[in-house]
Homo-oligomer: A and B are copies of this chain.
């Protein structure tokens, strides 16, 4: 966590940039060991976190800062990165971290979905107040163990031409 992030983004709180932020995160997750569906879910969690900041934190003001930091979260046995750590920060209204629980799973209704999605998708989710102002959301998602041979050995010879890893 203290290590410099591999990617650090400052963006304005305009929904027009949500797609850029989540495409970056989804694409980086792909390279950090996740499959397409997992990447899409991780991108969704980031999207929901940004939407909540824009909507609840900044009351839809489109010109306030949001910071996203990205680190690889670990290494698998062959030394390749395998997991993603994300920290999303704002300087918006502070709320009690334990108020951000997400709705109960069996309370089926629209709304109250964002926090629920974030907690459902990511392995670790921690909300905290930043020192001076604003909130910090720290999230980690571990990549599933890779089966089969490592990537550089995954070239297969056969009519189907598809590897198993």
Contacts and interface: CB of A to CB of B under 8 A. Distances in A.
Interface residues of A, number: 24
Interface string A1-16: 0000011111110101
Contact of A27 (B8, B23, B31, B70): B23
Contacts of A8: 9-11
Contacts of A12: 6-7
B28 A20 contact: yes
A24 interface: yes
A30 interface: yes
Interface of A: 6-12, 14, 16-17, 19-21, 23-28, 30-32, 70, 81
16 contacts: A6-B12, A7-B9, A7-B20, A8-B9, A8-B10, A9-B9, A16-B32, A16-B81, A17-B28, A17-B31, A19-B28, A20-B27, A20-B28, A20-B31, A20-B70, A24-B24
